[in-house]
Structure 1
Amino acid sequence: MNHSALPEETPELRAARTLGQSLGAPPSGSDPRAWIREAWKKAAELGVFEVLIPEEALNVEVVLSVLEGVGMGCAGEGFPLALGAHCFGFSAPLLCFGSEEHKGLLPSLRDGSVMGALAATETEAGSDVMSLKTRFRRDGDDYVLQGAKCFITNAREADYFLVLATKDPRLHFRGLSAFLVPRATRGLEVGIDEPRMGMHGCSVSSVWFDDVRVPRSAMVGGVGQGASVFQHALTWERSMLAGFHLGVMRRQFLAALDYAKERRQFGRPIGNNQYVAGRIVDMLSRYRTSHLLVRNTLTLLSTGALTPGEASLTKLYVSEAALASGTDAFRLHGGMGLMEGSEVGRELRDALGGIVYSGTSEIQKVIIAAELGLGS
């Protein structure tokens, strides 16, 4: 089998992988904004945004190749997460729910000259996002937003925010609406890039809205459609971000296979030991299974047949598979994996993020169980 055990590399995968490799390692101890903007420019030049924010039907094979290639080439999962926040969390809802005025922003989103961020999470509304406290009220021909968001990907660079707010928390999902808010709007403030143990290559910050006034036309979808807008963003995120994990798992498998043949202990390659060989087989099995699952999910997404539970199942399985394969790669390297600058150590830290962002694994199980008719 050897490397032929993997699906054939397409030209799109190779181009996206080369893009990721060309970016180099993102800065971990300094302001990453210059690095992110340069990476953004390169992604736009390759046409990544045009593929991931489609004007027409989703081209499943091309999208799958681009996602996997970017994940395979990037030194870390931070920049792929930034792409996801822009393309899936922000742009996908505009495609589906935006007015003609909102959709006028899409060419700039596709050419990379404008960056977007989804502002939903709050300190007491993470997994329970429907309990958010950011409020909106009508004032003449305007809406006024008041509240705070946290853990917002792309916040430091974003030109526009898609903000989820409630008319009244007691209304739960029925009170939610979504608003397109320019960064330059008076009363909007962005915090520092929060220090993290991984996921470098993107910014993650708090955002405050202090009597932020926007016109009625800023509402995305109708009054009370915020829950639908948010669910659409999550469905795209959970389906598409899984594709980036495929690239990481593919790279890990190939590197582990080569390392097991080259590294010698007790007078023979470590791959000759059944425990080591078994881990590598597990890595291959997870990758191949995940690849089939993501392709099927993207096919359903492209036809409009994907349910939230199906998207959650993909997110759950692939993110947990990526964490398990990251753990196996780490174990294969022993003490070297703990050393500063270790690639397998970095990959493992980043994989932990995958079971948290866009909804924890536990929340995905709740969603899947609900579609099965289980739970309250």
Structure 2
Amino acid sequence: MQLNSPGSISRTVIWLMTVISGLVVANIYYNQPLLSLISEDLKVTEAAASKISVLTQLGYAAGLLLVVPLGDKFFRKKLILIDLFLVFAALLWMTFARELWMLYIASLLIGATSVIPQLFVPMAAELSSDQEKSSNIGLVMSGLLLGILLSRFIGGIVGEMLGWRAMFGIASGMMILVWLVVYFKLPELHPNFRGTYSELMKSVFHLARTQPVLRLASFRGAMAFGSLCALFTTLVFHMEKPPFNAGSSVVGSFGLAGAVGALAAAKVGKLQKVMDLNRIIFYALIIVLISWAFTYFAGETYWGLIVGVILIDLGVQSSHIMNQTNYFLIRSNAVNRLNTVYMVSYFIGGSLGTWLASIAWQYAQWGGVCLVGVSMGILALTAHLIFNRKLNN
């Protein structure tokens, strides 16, 4: 079955992409509650172990830049099937790696190959009518967001019960099942770019230079996601100390709290009926900043961290969905390349937040992490207030 006309996508296919997005994107985040276990197993420092998370996000950014634009050039189903095989191989390597440098390379490859959800989001946008665009994007994104959040919970539980390697072995098995579902159930889309790969990549940078709405959305997304990653990357180190003395399963369970925010964010598109898109983004970024107040001032209590996690996920994911809705309204058939610019920026921001937070933890512990998170939130809000006004004048 081949689809190419707006409004032709079925609810079954949308739900299929939603579930697969969650299962694939989870590969990037299983490591976060496992970093302490990896650190102990390999007898390396927490800072060295946290580079696994940084490299996974950098790998994802590289995959977004180099792989996702190919969705405009090649048949998407074939591209996804090839990519799923590579994800499987990278997860197997992670499962059996015995040295830290092997884990670094495997993490980079897991990130680079787990980009399939970012082929699905443009597909949902491309095949949806303008009236259904934000709701269909929101549905696929809800699967992606739940995959991100529940992966931390599942990773923490499996890591504590079976060891950190078991989680990556289970994930590799899941990719075999996903490959079979995609092969038999996913429809095919015709490519819409006929030039060379070099010309394709040049067009990506051309879009970044010539689309101010895309640039602003990309910066907002990068800073907001960096703020979120600063929290989740160091949460495991914060909670293994007094007064919590918690293991990886407890830290991973905070993914369930974040899922509350993510599910609420998936409905944010409906607010467009009563509120301007840019105003929704403004309120979402305010929520991100409020979350850090709870995380800092009540950061030695469970309730403070839970409220902080719910609010930061609600704020970051709401702004993320609205950012994507914003630039997908640009009249262009280069939907994968538009998404590439945004998502590469998004995960560079996440890597930056992770890296800065690991440094802040090393020198200033939890207070330093909170400073990193709130600073990135302020940069996102400031850019929105200044440049959004210029774009609308």
Q: Per residue, is there more strand in 1 or in 2?
A: 1
The structure with the largest helix share of the pair is 2
Which is greater in Rg?
1
TM-score normalised to structure 2 length: 0.33
Given the two structures, how large is their TM-score scaled by the length of structure 1?
Answer: 0.34
